[in-house]
Amino acid sequence: MADLREMRIFSADQIEVPDDLPGILKDYSKEVIRNNPEDIYAFSRKYFEDMLKKRDKGETADDVGAKKPT
């Protein structure tokens, strides 16, 4: 395991944000608002598990975006 001092982030320049992260978070946020789940943790887990399954099947974000987690 790396030394914790080596892992610390001291500036925003050290953080690499994947290009598709904002879109993923926007789609996720919309689904949370649409569904208003009682248990947001369970909903979130299911949502991202479903997204992984769909990604592994080769579906695009556009194929998945407006669909509720099943």
In a domain, 38, yes or no: yes
Give the range of the structural domain holding residue 58, as residue numbers without chain letter: 18-64
The residue that leads in pLDDT, 10 or 28, is 28
The number of folded domains in the chain is 1
Confidence at 66, pLDDT banded by 50, 70, 90: very low
CA distances from 29 to 11, 21, 62, 67 (A): 27, 12, 15, 13
pTM (predicted TM-score): 0.65
Q: Do the domain assignments include residue 5?
A: no
The per-residue pLDDT for range 1-21, each reduced to its tens digit, is 556 566 677 787 778 889 999
Please report whether residue 47 resides in a domain: yes
Higher pLDDT among residues 63 and 19, named by residue:
19
**Mean pLDDT across the stretch 31-51?**
97
**In the structure, what pLDDT confidence band is assigned to residue 60 with cuts at 50, 70 and 90?**
low
